[in-house]
């Protein structure tokens, strides 16, 4: 399988704190790769380096054979890297407006940015995404104050407005009930299998990782300590130590 995204020897420091200490990673086209590890091991920092919110002091990010290390976040979104945050950003307005916000942008030509031709096309896309995340009944509801399960779906639909090829998901099931987790897992699988998204998934729930990820990378203290199938990594002594030490 072809590599769609590569992280090469990335170092990231915050003052005296080393968040990433030489990370290497390859996301293959069409795979679901899970990134797991204790709190503070650098998972979110890594996603931030990939989407351009953080600038690593050293190392490179390669996307579709192109060095994007110097590209600003909006340019990375434009070429197909979508980022979903752990805490969804919800503003005052309807659910559909919260999803459509993807298309209200400071860029001169939002449709080019979103790979769409017109406002009509954008509206149609938003309607399809509402169905995809099963929020039809909330379409016109005020989004502020909706429960976390709904917020997470809004956030997912919003990033899909940009029609990304790569999805960076930061703990998409945190704070969800068991049923809501199952729904989210179903969306992730469908995005991967039907819509051919390549997915880098940060996830705490190892049983969910086991269920949907083909490959897992385990991080601890800013480096990868293990890589393999979900079945393999949970048996790795270094992984067990890192988790028990949390």
Ligand X SMILES: Nc1ncnc2c1ncn2[C@@H]1O[C@H](COP(=O)(O)OP(=O)(O)O)[C@@H](O)[C@H]1O
Cβ nearer to ligand X, comparing 48 with 98: 48
Compute the distance between CA of residue 18 and CA of residue 12 in angstroms, rounded to an integer: 6
Regarding 87 and contact with ligand X (CB under 6 A), the answer is no
Q: Does residue 40 belong to the site contacting ligand X (CB under 6 A)?
A: yes
Residue 33 phi/psi, 5° resolution?
-110, 125
Among 44, 98, 173, 198, binds ligand X (CB under 6 A): 44
> Residue 65 — φ and ψ, nearest 5°?
65, 15
Q: What angle do CA 69, 63, 165 make, to 5 degrees?
A: 130
Q: Give the number of other Cβ atoms within 10 Å of residue 37's Cβ.
A: 26
Using the rule CB under 6 A, give the single segment among 35-43, 87-95, 149-157, 172-180 that binds ligand X.
35-43
Q: Is 94 helix (H, G, I), strand (E, B) or coil?
A: strand
Nearer to Mg ion, 126 or 168 (CB): 168
Our CB check for ligand X shows the closer of 44 and 192 to be 44
Q: Out of ligand X, Mg ion, none, which partner does residue 14 contact, by CB within 5 to 8 A per kind?
A: ligand X
Contact positions vs Mg ion (CB under 5 A): 43-44
Could you tell me the smallest distance in angstroms from the CB atom of residue 29 to Mg ion? 25
172 binds, among ligand X, Mg ion, none (CB under 5 to 8 A by kind): none
- Using the minimum distance from each CB to ligand X, give the nearer residue, 95 or 213: 213
Nearer to Mg ion, 44 or 192 (CB): 44
- By a kind-dependent CB cut-off of 5 to 8 A, residue 230 interacts, out of ligand X, Mg ion, none, with none
Residue 201 tokens, joined: 């998934």
133-163 core/surface letters (b: 16 or more CB in 10 A; e: else)? bebeebeeeebeebeebbbbbbbbbbbbbbe
**Binding flag, residue 41, ligand X (CB under 6 A):** yes
**3-class SS of residue 166:** strand
Binding site for ligand X (CB under 6 A): 14, 17, 19, 37, 39-45
């Amino acid at each position: 399988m072809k590599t769609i995204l590569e992280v090469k020897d990335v170092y990231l420091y915050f003052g005296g704190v080393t968040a990433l200490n030489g990370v290497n990673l390859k996301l293959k086209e069409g795979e679901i790769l899970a990134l797991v590890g204790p709190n503070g091991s650098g998972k979110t920092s890594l996603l931030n380096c990939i989407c351009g919110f953080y600038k690593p002091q050293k190392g490179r990010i390669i996307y579709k054979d192109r060095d994007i290390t110097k590209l600003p976040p909006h340019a990375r979104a434009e070429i197909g890297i979508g980022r979903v945050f752990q805490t969804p950003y919800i503003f005052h307005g309807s659910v559909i407006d919260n999803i459509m916000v993807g298309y209200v942008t400071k860029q001169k030509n939002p449709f080019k940015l979103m790979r769409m031709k017109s406002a009509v096309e954008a509206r149609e896309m938003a309607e399809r995404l509402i169905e995809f995340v099963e929020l039809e009944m909330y379409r016109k509801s005020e989004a502020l104050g909706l429960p976390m399960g709904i917020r997470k779906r809004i956030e997912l639909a919003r990033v899909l407005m940009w029609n990304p090829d790569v999805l960076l998901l930061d703990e998409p099931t945190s704070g969800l009930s068991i049923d809501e987790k199952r729904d989210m897992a179903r969306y992730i699988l469908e995005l991967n299998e039907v819509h051919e998204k390549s997915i880098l998934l940060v996830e705490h729930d190892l049983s969910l990782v086991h269920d949907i990820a083909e490959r897992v990378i385990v991080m601890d203290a800013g480096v990868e300590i293990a890589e393999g199938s979900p079945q393999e990594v949970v048996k790795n002594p270094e992984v067990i130590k890192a988790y028990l030490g949390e």
